Amino acid sequence: MDESVENKPNEETKVKSKKPFGFYVCSLGFTFERVSFYTVKYMLAIWIATQTGKGGLGLTDVKAASMASMFIALTYITPVLGGYVADYWLNPKFCVGSGMILMAIGYLFTWQAHSIGMVWAMIILVSIGTGLFKGNLSGVNGLLFDDEKELNEAFTVQYTFVNIGSFTGTTFIVLLIPLIGFNNVFLVCSLFMFLDALWFILNRKSLGDAGSKPFKIDQRKFKSVAAQNDETEDGKNAPLTAGDKKRVTAIILVTLFSVVFWMAWYLAYMPVYYYFGHGDGAAFLNRANWAIGSFNVPTSYFDSVNALVCIALGPILAKLWTKLAKRPQGDMSMFKKTALGMIFMGISYVIMIVADFVGQGNASMVWIVVVGIVMSLGEMVFSPLGNSFITKMAPSKLMGLLLGFWPVAVFFATLIYPKVYAILKTTDPTQFQIGYGILALIVIGLGVVLYLSSKSLDRLESAK
């Protein structure tokens, strides 16, 4: 590869393994938030499609997918606005704490919800709260480190904390549903968010000055390519340079390709829930065996497989990225990681098709677990590194905005996947295998194209 597109490491600089306490304050902030979010993410589609006599709203699975996707979509678009607010107007610490409290109040609405109107109130409040919380907490965490070489490992470990939260929610909290009902589990999610806010606010001092000022003037201590132009007061207020614009373009391109990955990722839950899954009503076809002895495995454990694999891979991949960064040729580019993630995602659909073909209406749960493992491998290859990529490459004056822009891929993906699901929805195994097979080929093909194009795209990342 051309030296102009390499990120060669400084041989004399050693990456610190010890992280500041403030890093764990921020990372646990994500853990508590993900407990609530992933519990609600799982429950919302199931609850809306469950019969009213069993505590649900009694709507169709297509309507349930649409509502659940809107909940996810809005929570992934509002961080753009929240990041802009933290860039120029309010300090990120205040944004994060306020966002936690708004999310807690939002889940209280669903606790008392017996209509779609109350659900929309929850969606709006949680979306606004997430906008103030999500990208800004990652930005504060990034400011705690002096050396950009520490960021890939730090954000990968942070992603492990994220998945500890999602694993806890989908593995344990959802087991409360048959005991206390859907609505009371929403209350539990609210209490987790109030606890999160208390944890963060009481430990604000451990963050030092990080996040005490808007990102525009709260400069990074390490000297990345993007930071070099922002060192002086003139640099902070000057227009974006040609190099800045190219790096912003690189961030946008990675985000656009991520749309395909996240569309396929979220869509995979629909056939697992409704085609292979089991539950009350005609929406569930139950074409897989979910029993282990006398224990009927909840479909939410598919989410748990994802979280558990991400937790296990987090420390391993964190060390791998640090090791790769020390190579003479530098780390693998973000474009290649995104491409590999898409390829793994496409392969997971191939496994799903094989499971249905081999199982003939009673697929082994082992196949479903393998689908979750391959999906999670693809997710861990590139998703945690988006925050690192942006923190290193974004001009400081746009860091909060671009950290908020990264989740925009999920916003568009969640608008797209219900429509794709409605097209692919079928009770005919042959049509299922053909439809999802075509989707698998498209996703894998786009991943291959991106991988082969990465050398040219890398030049945008390293532009001066």
Domains of the chain, residue spans: 19-461
**DSSP run (H or E) holding 131:** helix 116-142
Q: What angle do CA 262, 106, 137 make, to 5 degrees?
A: 55
Give the chain's mean pLDDT.
82
Fold of 19-461: Growth Hormone; Chain: A; (1.20.1250)
pLDDT in tens, 175-191: 898 899 888 999 999 99
pLDDT of residue 52: 59
> Which residue bears the tokens 């519990």?
39
**Model pTM greater than 0.85?**
no
Helices (H), ranges, 383-428: 385-393, 399-405, 408-424
Q: How confident is the model at residue 123 (pLDDT cuts 50, 70, 90)?
A: very high
**What single-letter amino acid sits at 75?**
T
Sign, CA torsion 39/44/50/51 = positive
Sign, CA torsion 370/375/378/384 = negative
pLDDT in tens, 64-112: 778 888 898 888 889 888 888 888 888 889 999 999 999 999 999 988 8
